[in-house]
A = this chain, B = another copy of it.
Amino acid sequence: MLEKQSREMETAGPWFVGVDVGGTNIECGVMDGSGKVVSRLRRPTLPGEGQEAVIGRIAGMATEAAVSAGLSIGRISAVGIGNPGFIDPIRGISLDSVNLGWRNVPTADLLTARLGLPVYVENDVKTYVYGEAMAGAGVGFRYVFGLTIGTGLAGAFVSDGSIFGGGDFLAGEIGHIPFDEIGYRCNCGLNGCLETMVSATGIARQAADAVKQGAGGILAERYAHAGAITAKDVHDAYTEGDPTARSVLDRTGRLLGKALSFVVPVLSPDVIIIGGGAAQAGAALLGPMEEELRGRLLPAYAERLQIRQAALGHDAGVIGNALYAKMRSGTV
């Protein structure tokens, strides 16, 4: 009890819980009034156990995160949930979360019933970019376009501090734009979607295909040893000077740059923020991306556009969703 009291004294309210619910893991934490993450925990999502079990797990984790920040759950002002897929943030419904196997789940109401708190739900990439816009790499910019290069690829636009939803809140699925030069079929049913190459999965796929087509070097050894290649393997091989890895990251970066050359004239963003696991490849990926992008822009756009890597790191999921809860609950 003494310890809890002293920990609470180190932080000041209002407190918000942010929860990023991915297909693999749930990341949950408490953000305090200064925007600092004061507790955080991670558990496997186990979506196969069913929606009720996952909702129960989220509620349990929210309570646990509060307690480990020295707070009772009643001290939390609001909870923000980031879900993959199509979400109706106004009604708090997860319309179609493929990774979770959820369709038309009233996520906000189910969690409010368990926690007795206001709960807000939004697409996970939208809250991620919102967090970066308000408290990360986008601070000081008015028009922020952000994207996450992870298992898939998606983007979101924050304009004047508001997440842009578009018709039926569907804006952002830039990973599913087909490119004529991409030969892979996408899980979504379309051919040549950008994310079949521009994603961690896509980087690994390109490297594996290069090896199968006879490329030697570090990646071939890796493949022979492990039977598979990850995006991290590609980046590691790049760091060691492997030409196949360089060529995969260069091609991936250039494709993304080309895609962004369509986004910029439509939105005229002040800054583009690149996040997600695969963005950790850094200059190997983002150098070619930026070169390709800037070469395809009118000077009026190229001269003013900033490009930044995401800044919130491991706290991004908690901060983005907690800030979203703060905004929605009107405690800004």
Seen from chain A, the residues whose Cβ lies within 8 Å of a Cβ on chain B are: 86, 142-143, 155, 157, 159, 164-174, 176-178, 180-181, 188-190, 259, 261-263, 265-270, 296, 298-301, 304
A142-B167 in contact given A177-B262, A262-B262, A298-B176 (Cβ < 8 Å): yes
Q: How many copies, total?
A: 2
Min CB distance A83 to B, Å, is 16
**A301 partner residues in chain B, CB cutoff 8 A:** 170, 173
A269 contacts B167, C-beta separation under 8 Å: yes
A171-B259 contact given A190-B298, A296-B178, CB 8 Å threshold = no
Q: What B residues does A298 contact at CB under 8 A?
A: 173, 176, 188, 190
* In the complex, chain B residues whose CB is within 8 Å of the CB of A265: 171-174, 176-177
For the complex formed, measure the closest distance between the CB of A263 and the CB atoms of chain B, giving whole angstroms: 6
A312 to B142, CA, bound (A): 34
What residues of B have a CB within 8 angstroms of the CB of A300 in the complex?
Answer: 86, 168, 170, 173
Contact residue among B170, B190, B259, B268 (Cβ-Cβ distance under 8 Å from A166): B268
CB–CB B261/A263 < 8 A: no
A–B pairs, 27, beta carbons within 8 Å:
A143-B166, A143-B167, A159-B164, A166-B267, A167-B304, A170-B300, A170-B301, A171-B265, A171-B266, A171-B267, A172-B265, A172-B266, A173-B265, A173-B300, A173-B301, A176-B265, A176-B298, A177-B261, A177-B265, A177-B296, A180-B181, A190-B296, A190-B298, A262-B262, A262-B263, A263-B266, A266-B266
How far is it, in angstroms, between the C-alpha of A42 and the C-alpha of B157 when the chains are bound? 41
A176 to B298, CA, bound (A): 7
Given A178-B296, A261-B178, decide whether A266 and B168 contact each other with a Cβ distance below 8 A. no
B-side contacts of A164, CB under 8 Å: 159, 267
Having A174-B266, A266-B266, one finds 4 other A-B pairs with CB under 8 Å, namely A142-B167, A143-B167, A171-B267, A190-B298
Please, which residue of chain B has its CB at the minimum distance from the CB of A95?
B300
> Which residue of B is nearest A193, CB measured?
B298
A265 to B169 CA separation, bound complex (whole angstroms): 11
- With most chain B CB atoms within 10 A of its CB, the pick from A155, A167, A176 is A167
Collect the chain B residues with CB atoms within 8 Å of residue A159's CB.
164
With a cutoff of 8 Å between Cβ atoms, the chain B residues found around residue A266 in the complex are 155, 157, 171-172, 174, 262-263, 266-267
Give chain B nearest CB distance to A234 CB in angstroms: 25
Q: Judging by beta carbons under 8 Å apart, are A304 and B262 in contact?
A: no
Closest to A171 in B: B268
A137 to chain B, nearest CB (A): 16
State A201–B261 Cα separation when bound (angstroms). 23
Best-surrounded residue of A166, A181, A270 (most CB of chain B within 10 A): A166
Most buried by B among A155, A164, A266, A298: A266
Q: Which residues from chain B contact A177 at a C-beta distance below 8 Å?
A: 261-262, 265, 296
| Chain B residues within an 8 Å CB radius of A171 | 265-268
A325 to B167, CA, bound (A): 27
